[in-house]
Structure 1
């Protein structure tokens, strides 16, 4: 091969590689506008039938899949509270789809998804809220904070326990459906699985950089932890041993949400790059990818995928900062 031929080959190879990395805009099976002018946060229920969305201009909306009008509309503030300080940036739905928790930097609220009524509103006494999660029946709430502390709180009894294992800011938390175990990750490069009754650490998952997202399988099989660089790992939650690492070429991949399919075969993730990814749990291989609609009047076009879920074994749902819920067919 001559020098000129080698240069031509390299140019063609780089062009093919660049093209393969670019994903064309995807066309969803269906699309619903659920908040005007975009969203700050959202979560999708385990069965993907409900979405709780914090809108930029119109409070918090609860939507049932496929319906044209919201079930409920909430305002996250206490009596006499200053609405301007209540920017809801964290939302979580319990695995049984009966309760939701919403949080701004200073306070969190629990809501019934059956009646739409608030269960309670609590202000934290120190630091700021980074992430929240609620267990089945609203039994317990997990609150991760910027000072590295994680609080587990039982609204009915008032019992609270603080987990002090982390040394730096908490970025992500999740809780098992029964509320007995918590998974938390932070800037100290570590994710911990721990018992909410005793605060005892069950497993320690280490990373080479700050842990940005954690997620637990509702069936009690897996844990997922991802950092700010290249390690995105699926673990056996019973043994603490690795199952697979997500396979991608990118030097950095950030995830915003992650859920496991009920049959345990797949992991579905959302990202701040308008993307949804479908991964094979056993191998970490990517088997699907979609690109959501951008937020209106954004230049360049952008959107953060806040919530994802499996509708059934053929369809997935996404809710993004564009204020849209979108339905996609699985490959």
Structure 2
């Protein structure tokens, strides 16, 4: 009886502590890892199938890697030689193009040839985030002014979405370029049409929206705020599917990826953690902790890219400069 009572007290204390400060993910060991940059990275993205990574290195510009290779496929310079300041990278769902951006300009690259397609400068306000469609036909650009621009490089068509009242923090675009998801400091995320700029669904939060993501198959969207609400929505109806369930008072996400079958969600964080979630229930299923960046004090790392591999495992890219492969429970 005493042991059972003591166990219940310990369990309650553990849950209470988790609710106050959040429980940390235990240290974990990857199946494999690859050094992609020395000295750390500013930004990175991984293709949806987990085979390619584009990394913005602090000391060596932009590099395109086939994950597992010893040498990069391409080396790019965003604004010529000199200091690399690229803070946002996005690979199209079909792996044909990449968009990169610093605070002043964005560039489109062809992944087949490694050649630049175009370079555009933004004068009105700084760039916050970028995203690109299949075949590089459309580029979405978020600005600190609250304006989101949709731009078609081939036709030069440009549409500005003015729905947000404050700074936009995160954006995503459907692979076909028809739909954009944007979230900002006005506590709101919008799903809207890039053809007309018309709002399709409005998703409200109690605090600023810090991260948004669209399922490439057009089933789901995720919107997450800076405190405790991380909601999965049905894109077709606008109705909630589930809320991610966690004890911590807040969880900040740095990358989000839906699995191809729509059953799972993968998230990265600014504090080394990677989580796997069940889409329908919002329940956390597994977690991993990426390697820390040694030059940071205290040692930590931002998880910039997460993806599911074709064999069912997980691959990550972080500010430590490492790509890491993680095993899922079968």
What's the CA shift for 1:14?
2.8
Partner of 2:160: 162
CA distance 1:138–1:290, change in 2 (3 Å): same
Partner of 1:91: 89
CA distance 1:8–1:318, change in 2 (3 Å): closer
Partner of 2:186: 188
For structure 2, list consecutive stretches of 5 or more residues without a partner in the other structure.
none
Correspondence list, 1:224-303, <5 A:
224-303=222-301
TM-score (norm 2): 0.94
- Work out the CA distance in 1 between the residues paired with 2:26 and 2:74: 35
Partner of 1:38: 40
Partner of 2:109: 111
Q: 1:21 aligns with which of 23, 34, 47?
A: 23
1:222 pairs with 2:241: no
Which of 8-17 and 66-75 deviates more? 8-17
Equivalent position SS for 2:53: strand
What's the CA shift for 1:273?
1.1
Q: 2:64 aligns with which of 50, 56, 62?
A: 62
- Work out the CA distance in 2 between the residues paired with 1:62 and 1:108: 17
The count of residues paired between Structure 1 and Structure 2 equals 325
| Cα offsets for 1:45-84 (capped at 9, x unmatched) | 1111100000000000100021111000100016xxx844
**Contact 2:186 / 2:208 at 8 angstroms: preserved in 1?**
yes
What's the CA shift for 1:25?
1.1
What's the CA shift for 1:244?
0.3
- Work out the CA distance in 2 between the residues paired with 1:33 and 1:17: 39
Task: Please tell me the root mean square deviation across aligned C-alpha atoms, in Å.
Answer: 2.1
CA distance 1:263–1:228, change in 2 (3 Å): same
Equivalent position SS for 1:14: helix
1:197 pairs with 2:195: yes
1:123 pairs with 2:121: yes
What's the CA shift for 1:214?
0.5
- Work out the CA distance in 1 between the residues paired with 2:165 and 2:111: 35
Q: 2:79 aligns with which of 60, 77, 80?
A: 77
Partner of 1:49: 51
Runs of 4+ aligned structure 1 residues displaced above 3 Å come to 6-13, 15-20
Q: 1:100 aligns with which of 94, 98, 101?
A: 98
Q: 1:317 aligns with which of 312, 315, 319?
A: 315
| Cα offsets for 1:115-159 (capped at 9, x unmatched) | 000000000121000000000000000000000000000000111
- Work out the CA distance in 1 between the residues paired with 2:278 and 2:259: 10
CA distance 1:12–1:255, change in 2 (3 Å): closer
- Work out the CA distance in 2 between the residues paired with 1:134 and 1:21: 35
| Cα offsets for 1:154-184 (capped at 9, x unmatched) | 0001110000000000100000001011000
- Work out the CA distance in 2 between the residues paired with 1:9 and 1:274: 31
What's the CA shift for 1:12?
7.5
What's the CA shift for 1:315?
0.4
For structure 1, list consecutive stretches of 5 or more residues without a partner in the other structure.
none
Equivalent position SS for 1:137: helix
Which of 15-24 and 255-264 deviates more? 15-24
CA distance 1:222–1:11, change in 2 (3 Å): closer
What's the CA shift for 1:217?
0.5
What's the CA shift for 1:252?
0.6
Equivalent position SS for 2:135: helix
TM-score (norm 1): 0.94
